[in-house]
Structure 1
Amino acid sequence: MPTPKSSDAATPAAIAERIRDAILEHRLEPGAKLTEAQLCDVFGVKRGTVRQALSLLATEHLIDLEPNRGAFVASPSLREVHEVFEMRRIVEAAVIERVCRDRDGQGAVHMKALAKMIERERNAFEHRDFRSWIRLSGEFHTALAALTGNRVLCNCLAGLVARSTLISALYESLGRSPCSFDEHAQIVDAIEAGNTEQAAELMVRHLETVELKMLDRPARGAADLREVFGV
């Protein structure tokens, strides 16, 4: 029998977060079917709660809801790969320019925090903790955007990073994330040096490299949801 869930852990938002994490950490691959009955069993909730959670994820483009077929982890096309990374290059170049322009007395503290994040990213890779590595790779970009103080921009980029991670799950093998911590470190170094043009160029080049490293490989499309969520 599933372990009883607390009321907080059984809300649509909490369930959506659990599923989101499983997708972004590559425990659920693109194309995997999210069977309502299994999810109800896993989380100890009724179908209405599961359907609300799935609707939340559908608005984030992380799952597809198909009439008469059910819910599936989204499978981005190659065209979407290009469009997502094109948008990221535009947004993140602007992030670099804003961060460099508006650096205040806390600039050194912020850069130190980013450097520590990159070190955790490196350690996760060296210890073969690939799921943490993937998560930290995305968090570097969202943490950098947070320094702008622009919540709309941050929400926009968070959505793009989430979709990029989903794309990575489809086109990359686990343990071969194209997002390089060494390139992240070079970007931070350029920001610290006050070289806005170089930092923006490094970010654009970094994202171009990420896009080019994507490999065309089909997802398995099936998953044991009890195993994925540790029930």
Structure 2
Amino acid sequence: MPTPKSSDAAIPSAIAERIRDAILEHRLKPGAKLTEAQLCEVFDVKRGTVRQALSQLAGEHLVDLEPNRGAFVASPSLREVHEVFEMRRIIEAAVIERVCGNQDGKGAAHLKVIAKMIERERAAFEHRDFRSWIRLSGEFHTALAELTGNRVLCNCLAGLVARSTLISALYESLGRSPCSFDEHAQIVDAIGAGDTARASELMVRHLQTVELKMLDRPARGAADLREVFG
């Protein structure tokens, strides 16, 4: 059996990235069926390549693979909502403590970068660029984690943030994301002031507010994959 070229081996990951972006930008809703034949047509690849991409996304808990039924965008249960946000509160409180304890000139410069990200998040909302708003809302949390320098922590949180974004697609229409840029700004201000207790309190409260806005009403249905990826 011939060894695949590096470019060929990268194709499933590239397709997975396109599907992942569509899920996290709410262009593909939870419960939407990911028809293999349609994906083959959209991406001009063979079925085996599509299956590799879907398997990768299933490992990230963004896609459910159901025997004899096919692939669907994941529809997290209410229990999973609670578990995901419980883990986020634990991890992100630790992030705050670590970041506040490591404040120096370099850390202050990084906080300014994150503050500018929040302004872009606000501008995206005001201009009704909801796809960018959703992306930037999640990136705020992962950008803070990156200041710890702990790659394992960052990878873990990135996965939880992705699942949180999927969860929000179940319950919130575009333009009503529960993650607030005003609360993000307050958290950064508290970190900049070196107030660990205040920053931790704000982060935990922020994540609790997000969770409380979640309702167990998954949106199921078909999706026109040609339109989504057109």
Q: Report the TM range for the smaller structure's normalisation.
A: over 0.9
Taking structure 2 as the reference length, what is the TM-score of the superposition? 0.95
> Structure 1 residue 173 and structure 2 residue 176: aligned?
no
User: Could you tell me which amino acid in structure 2 is paired with residue 21 of structure 1?
Assistant: D
The equivalent of 1:24 in structure 2 is 24
User: Could you tell me which amino acid in structure 2 is paired with residue 60 of structure 1?
Assistant: E
| CA displacement 1:173-198 (0-9 Å, x = unmatched) | 11100000000000000000000010
Give, in angstroms, the shift of residue 9 of structure 1. 10
Structural RMSD (CA): 1.3
Contact 1:8 1:14 in 2 (8 A): no
Give, in angstroms, the shift of residue 105 of structure 1. 2.2
User: Could you tell me which amino acid in structure 1 is paired with residue 106 of structure 2?
Assistant: Q
The equivalent of 2:34 in structure 1 is 34
Give, in angstroms, the shift of residue 199 of structure 1. 0.3
User: Could you tell me which amino acid in structure 2 is paired with residue 211 of structure 1?
Assistant: E
- Return closer, same or farther for 1:91/1:42 CA change in 2, 3 Å cut-off: same
The equivalent of 1:85 in structure 2 is 85
The equivalent of 1:123 in structure 2 is 123
Give, in angstroms, the shift of residue 24 of structure 1. 0.1
Q: How far apart are the structure 1 equivalents of 2:34 and 2:171?
A: 20
Q: How far apart are the structure 2 equivalents of 1:10 and 1:148?
A: 30
User: Could you tell me which amino acid in structure 1 is paired with residue 168 of structure 2?
Assistant: S
The equivalent of 1:155 in structure 2 is 155
> Structure 1 residue 133 and structure 2 residue 122: aligned?
no
SS of residue matched to 1:48: helix
SS of residue matched to 2:117: helix
User: Could you tell me which amino acid in structure 2 is paired with residue 119 of structure 1?
Assistant: E
User: Could you tell me which amino acid in structure 1 is paired with residue 35 of structure 2?
Assistant: T
Q: How far apart are the structure 2 equivalents of 1:220 and 1:89?
A: 29
Q: How far apart are the structure 2 equivalents of 1:71 and 1:220?
A: 13
Contact 1:172 1:215 in 2 (8 A): no
Contact 2:107 2:147 in 1 (8 A): no
Tell me the number of residue pairs that the alignment of Structure 1 and Structure 2 aligns: 224
User: Which structure 1 residue ranges, 5 or more long, are not aligned?
Assistant: 1-6
Contact 2:28 2:73 in 1 (8 A): yes
User: Could you tell me which amino acid in structure 2 is paired with residue 76 of structure 1?
Assistant: P
Give, in angstroms, the shift of residue 49 of structure 1. 0.6
Contact 1:62 1:166 in 2 (8 A): yes
Taking structure 1 as the reference length, what is the TM-score of the superposition? 0.94
The equivalent of 2:214 in structure 1 is 214
